[in-house]
Amino acid sequence: MDKIIAFIENDSELMKLQMVYPSGRDNTTSSVYFVNTETSEVYVVYCGNYIAGNYEYKDEDGNINSNSKWISNMKGAVECDTVEQKLAVEFYNNAISAARNVLNNEDGDIDITVCGHSTGGNQAQYVTIAYEKSQGENYSQNNDVDRCVSFDGQGFSNEFITKYYNDIQKRSNKITSYEPTLSYVGSLLNSIPGAKRKYIHLGNTEAFGIGIHMPAEMLDENGGFKK
């Protein structure tokens, strides 16, 4: 993590980003979003499984529930839409609303990128594919995802691919998925058909087991992707 923070601190463009939290951050997800007020760029970033414990969220009735990301991941193998994936859409809507307040842009076009690593990559892809259908008559093209970048995110169930077949045909070209050639997570379940996939050769890494999955393993000494 220190390695990634150091790369960010040395990147003038990344340092222009303002981190913003939604008002309900204690009952949605551990994800964050960033705004570049100079360019009206918005980045919605979903976190992976970096804690061993559960997280809490409020359901539609206002009750606080506890859920394990690992259990949610397993449900994703057989369900179309998991609780956590639906929360990812809720977080996205909160993020875009708050970003518009920061940018003083009520309904104009803004440039929106969703991204994430591991489970966060799965959530970013889910939002990209399911967003238009999930909003129904409230859908606004100006609030839609412009691009999605997933880093070693797991795939989806057969049921998801069937339910969102038409959406995948229409929207999968927004997705770019970066995966290490040796991946314990990115190779799980069904990848989104039509999404761009780029493979990262890790080379001689000292990491082993799940350590290979950590995002810093894909970066070289200059902060770029390994070749």
Stretches where the chain sits below pLDDT 50 are: 23-28, 70-71, 73, 76, 78
pTM of the shown model:
0.81
Look at residue 76 in the predicted model and tell me its pLDDT: 45
**Per-residue pLDDT tens for 51-77?**
555 555 555 566 655 555 544 545 545
CA–CA dist 119, 182 (Å, integer) = 17
- Answer for the pair 217, 207: CB distance below 8 angstroms, yes or no: yes
CA–CA dist 216, 131 (Å, integer) = 29
**Per-residue pLDDT tens for 16-39?**
998 886 544 444 456 888 999 999
Instruction: Give percent helix, percent strand, percent coil of the chain, each to the nearest 5.
Output: 40, 20, 40
What is 99-166 written as a DSSP string? HHHHHT-SSS--EEEEEEETHHHHHHHHHHHHHHHHHGGG--GGGS-SEEEEES---B-HHHHHHTHH
Please state which CATH class domain 2-218 belongs to: alpha beta
What are the two backbone dihedrals, phi and then psi, of residue 40, each rounded to the nearest 5 degrees?
Answer: 60, 30
Look at residue 84 in the predicted model and tell me its pLDDT: 84
Look at residue 21 in the predicted model and tell me its pLDDT: 65
